């Protein structure tokens, strides 16, 4: 007679999850079982139920995958009685929030096969609240509905029962820097940015690869004014990494002499940055 697993008594007391990996089941007494898995690696574990049919076995922790439970019959044959899927119950980490020009870019470093979503609540200066719920892709989600001074709350979630905490903040990105004389042939360059900001200056080394080398670092005064003297007359594009002293929001900008077509990207402390383009003039950048 063929073995029918649907008629075999094997009742799982607790689900197997990313947080709880002990197999506890009620089955027939004094039966030997093998649990087989091939998630991050292959393995087998063996255990025998007691006189009351209680089966307990500590399994390795996984965030996904499954365990196959076999009973070893008297003739030595293995019969599959249960396949246990691992439920991912890991707490979701806080979202990664980047300020890029007039947008928030939200991402997550949480690795999962499940779909992630992002919720953004924006409180405008007039007290109105806007709520956005969007799919969160591996590239992140850009929200461009904020104005300077708006308050925001952001969380990522899988469903209503499983989400990260809300992160709150005030949208206050770094404004683009300006220059008095970013013109080919100049040697001492004068500009204006955030008060007391740290400005790191890079110079284009190779056009074909857009490779820049660090030239020097200067600090703006309390009015945001700064200047630096180049070793040679200005004749190549330069990149300026600007760091705000108070909350370490950063902005990076590429400038081409005369054409003044910068590229900016910024990030908050401990977060990666992403590039975007902001045009100061309509003339194209020629690389």
**Mean pLDDT, contiguous 10-residue spans, the chain (287 residues):** 84 94 96 90 93 96 93 93 94 89 86 93 95 94 92 95 94 86 89 90 83 92 94 86 66 63 40 33 31
CB 165 within 8 A of CB 238: no
Measured in whole angstroms, how far is the alpha carbon of residue 82 from the centre of its chain?
36
- From 210, 170, 194, select the one nearest 251 (Cα to Cα): 194
Q: State pTM to two decimals.
A: 0.65
Phi, psi (degrees; rounded to nearest 5) at 262: -90, 155
pLDDT confidence of residue 70: 97
Express each pLDDT in 49-87 by its tens digit: 999 999 999 999 999 899 999 999 989 999 999 999 999
pLDDT confidence of residue 250: 67
pLDDT confidence of residue 236: 85
pLDDT confidence of residue 249: 63
At residue 7, the 3 state secondary structure works out as: helix
Tell me the domains of the chain and their CATH numbers. 5-85 (2.60.40), 96-170 (2.60.40.10), 178-277 (2.60.40)
CB 257 within 8 A of CB 83: no
pLDDT confidence of residue 237: 87
Q: In whole angstroms, what is the distance from residue 87 CA to residue 62 CA? A: 9
DSSP letters of 237-281? Answer: -EEEEEE-TTT--EEEEEE-TTT---EEE---TT-----EE--SS
pLDDT confidence of residue 264: 39
Q: In whole angstroms, what is the distance from residue 247 CA to residue 267 CA? A: 10
pLDDT confidence of residue 245: 59
Q: Label residue 26 left, alpha or beta by phi (over 0 means left) and psi (-120 to 50 means alpha).
A: beta
């Amino acid at each position: 007679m063929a073995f029918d697993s649907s008629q075999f008594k094997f009742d799982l007391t607790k689900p197997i999850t990313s947080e709880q990996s002990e197999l506890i089941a009620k089955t027939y007494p004094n039966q030997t079982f093998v649990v087989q898995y091939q998630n991050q690696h292959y393995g087998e574990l063996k255990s025998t139920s007691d006189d009351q049919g209680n089966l307990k076995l500590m399994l390795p922790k996984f965030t996904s995958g499954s365990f196959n439970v076999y009973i070893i019959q008297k003739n030595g044959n293995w019969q599959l009685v249960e396949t246990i899927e691992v439920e991912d119950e890991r707490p979701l980490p806080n979202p990664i929030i980047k300020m890029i020009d007039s947008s928030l870019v939200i991402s997550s470093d949480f690795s999962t096969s499940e779909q992630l979503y992002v919720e953004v609540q924006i409180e405008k200066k007039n007290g109105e609240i806007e709520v956005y719920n969007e799919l969160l892709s591996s590239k992140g989600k850009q929200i461009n509905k904020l104005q300077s001074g708006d308050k925001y709350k952001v969380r990522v979630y899988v469903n209503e029962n499983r989400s990260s905490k809300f992160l709150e903040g005030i949208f206050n990105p770094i404004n683009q820097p300006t220059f008095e004389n970013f013109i080919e042939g100049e040697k001492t360059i004068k500009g204006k940015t955030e008060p007391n900001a740290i400005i790191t200056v890079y110079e284009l080394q190779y056009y074909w690869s857009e490779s820049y080398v660090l030239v020097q670092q200067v600090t703006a005064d309390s009015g945001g004014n700064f200047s630096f003297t180049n070793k040679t007359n200005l004749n190549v594009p330069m990149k300026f990494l600007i760091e705000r002293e108070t909350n370490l929001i950063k902005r990076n900008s590429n400038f081409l002499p005369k054409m003044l077509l910068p590229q900016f990207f910024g990030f908050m402390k401990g977060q990666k940055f992403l590039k975007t383009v902001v045009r100061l003039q309509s003339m194209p950048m020629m690389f």
